[in-house]
């Protein structure tokens, strides 16, 4: 596709439920990132995938968060037993090369935990 | 002290004004500096990218980096209503495996009034 595609665009869930967010990066982009943007806060790094290398999971806030990526394509971010503080916009980005700041972001998945 | 500090605004200016947006940072290892623009309910898009100290100009936009003061700026000349957005500064470290991990400011909300 022309850009990074994320789904769902909006998700409302109840506390304690699991949610899965999907990201489809730009074709040919080897690097994929997940960031979280909470209201009034800057973007927080969550996880980074680069090709077949082991992902950098250092930004995941707790073991309730996990992410997978199939090769150099789709990624899913899973949040188990959601809490109200998980409410945020989850942004996915991809890039051609590892060592630049030129990330191409999707429009995000807005998660609301009631 | 947060790694990156950015005045969240909001900043409101008349059309045609010169806008100055700024960030300070504490991590002297940052070498790559970026400005992203984020329209409401959209993902951030890269606006300017600079490496190390100095100035970079692109049309109406000028980015400045002063590493000695740990201070970066974005200037917008002849501002237009279409420039109304949130501006996020971002930075990353040089070399190694960590420079893909962008650290973002909280963003400054700019409104340009016709």
- Summarised one tens digit per residue, pLDDT across range B18-42 is 999 999 999 998 988 999 999 998 9
pLDDT average, residue stretch B48-58: 88
Highest mean pLDDT among A37-51, A71-85, B88-102: A71-85
pLDDT average, residue stretch A83-109: 88
- Residue A41, pLDDT > 80, answer yes
Q: Whole-number mean pLDDT of chain A?
A: 91
Q: Please tell me which residue of chain A has the smallest CA distance to B90.
A: A101
Q: Could you tell me the two tokens for A21?
A: 């967010």
In DSSP terms, A110 is beta-bridged to A10, A89
pLDDT at A17: 97
- Residue A37, pLDDT > 70, answer yes
Q: What is each CA distance from A87 to A5, A43, A112, B60, B107, in whole angstroms? A: 20, 13, 5, 36, 19
Q: Could you tell me the two tokens for B3?
A: 């790694």
pLDDT at B54: 86
A42 to chain B: which residues are within 8 Å by CB? 4, 6, 88, 103-107
Residue % of chain A over a pLDDT of 70: 95
Q: Which of A8, A57, A101 should be substituted to probe chain B, the one whose Cβ sees the most B Cβ atoms within 10 Å?
A: A101
Tell me whether residues A42 and B105 touch, CB distance under 8 A: yes
Chain B contact for A45 (CB, 8 A cutoff): yes
pLDDT at B96: 47
């Amino acid at each position: 596709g022309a850009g990074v595609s994320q789904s769902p665009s909006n998700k409302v869930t109840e506390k304690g439920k699991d949610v899965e967010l999907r990201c489809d990066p730009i074709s040919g982009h080897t690097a994929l990132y997940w960031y979280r943007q909470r209201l009034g806060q800057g973007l927080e790094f969550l996880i980074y995938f680069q090709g077949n290398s082991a992902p950098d999971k250092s930004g995941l806030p707790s073991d309730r968060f996990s992410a997978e990526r199939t090769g150099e394509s789709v990624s899913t971010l899973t949040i188990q037993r959601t809490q109200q503080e998980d409410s945020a916009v989850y942004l996915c980005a991809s890039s051609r090369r590892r060592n630049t700041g030129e990330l191409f972001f999707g429009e995000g998945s807005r998660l609301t935990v009631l | 002290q947060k790694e990156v500090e950015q005045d969240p605004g909001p900043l409101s200016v008349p059309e045609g004004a010169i806008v100055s947006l700024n960030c300070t940072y504490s991590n002297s290892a940052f070498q790559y500096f970026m400005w992203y623009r984020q329209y409401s309910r959209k993902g951030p898009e890269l606006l300017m990218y600079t490496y190390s100290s100095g100035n970079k100009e692109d049309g109406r936009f000028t980015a400045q980096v002063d590493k000695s003061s740990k201070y970066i700026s974005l200037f917008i000349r002849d501002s237009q209503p279409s420039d109304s957005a949130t501006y996020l500064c971002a930075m990353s470290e040089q070399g190694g495996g960590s420079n893909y991990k962008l650290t973002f400011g909280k963003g400054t909300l700019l409104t340009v009034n016709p």
